[in-house]
Amino acid sequence: NAGVTQTPKFRILKIGQSMTLQCTQDMNHNYMYWYRQDPGMGLKLIYYSVGAGITDKGEVPNGYNVSRSTTEDFPLRLELAAPSQTSVYFCASSYGRAYNEQFFGPGTRLTVL
Amino acid sequence: AQSVSQHNHHVILSEAASLELGCNYSYGGTVNLFWYVQYPGQHLQLLLKYFSGDPLVKGIKGFEAEFIKSKFSFNLRKPSVQWSDTAEYFCAVNGGNYGGSQGNLIFGKGTKLSVKP
């Protein structure tokens, strides 16, 4: 199993550009999550999904959008990139929610200039 | 709202020293507790977790944590650290309920551990 994979690993965007961060898991997990990690701030939940076709906002959803058309994929879309979105983005998945370990991808380091 | 506090931002130890990283949470109900580790340049990995039962939990690589309900704490310990333990450590908690956002993990801000050889 590859686990959770993310692409790209690194990206530099200009202000106002858009991009999609890809996330795929091959563990048949129902739950998927997007976090951002900023230095000294821990991880903040952006969006999560409890299954294909079902998504919900986390703590910091502004400026992002998600979709979940399949169990495996959970892309994160940035429509109008802003410097405040410079961060490291992690995708994670879990079999259940409360009692289950979340498995994390390797992350995408995004810089918005 | 739930919150998780990690007391130390950066801890520096010499090899063979003992480690204790503090974690306190604010949620008063039933909680599930986790410690994750992030080695330099890598993604987060689970160290250990507590759901119920024996409040002393053993994890990978010689780490353990003790759940003290009366203190709302879940401190991470290791008797003797190694240089390879240099990493950032995150405490996380959820409310144990499946409804709404209470099933999601709330992370602390992390503690960086630097171990000098």
Q: What is the pLDDT of residues B21-32, one digit of tens each?
A: 999 998 767 888
pLDDT above 70 as % of chain A = 98
Distance from the B98 Cα atom to the nearest Cα atom in chain A, whole angstroms: 6
Chain mean pLDDT for chain A: 94
Q: Does the CA dihedral A90-A29-B101-B47 come out positive or negative?
A: negative
pLDDT-based confidence at residue A98 (cuts at 50, 70, 90): low
Residue B96, pLDDT score? 54
Instruction: Give the mean pLDDT of A18-32.
Output: 96
Restricting to A residues 38-57, those with a Cβ less than 8 Å away from any Cβ of B are 40-45, 48, 56
Instruction: Give the mean pLDDT of B31-37.
Output: 93
Q: What is the pLDDT of residues B71-112, one digit of tens each?
A: 999 999 999 999 999 999 999 988 655 445 557 888 999 999
Contact A97 B103 (CB under 8 A): yes
pLDDT-based confidence at residue A55 (cuts at 50, 70, 90): very high
Residue B102, pLDDT score? 57
Instruction: Give the mean pLDDT of A67-94.
Output: 96
Whether B1 contacts B103, CB under 8 Å: no
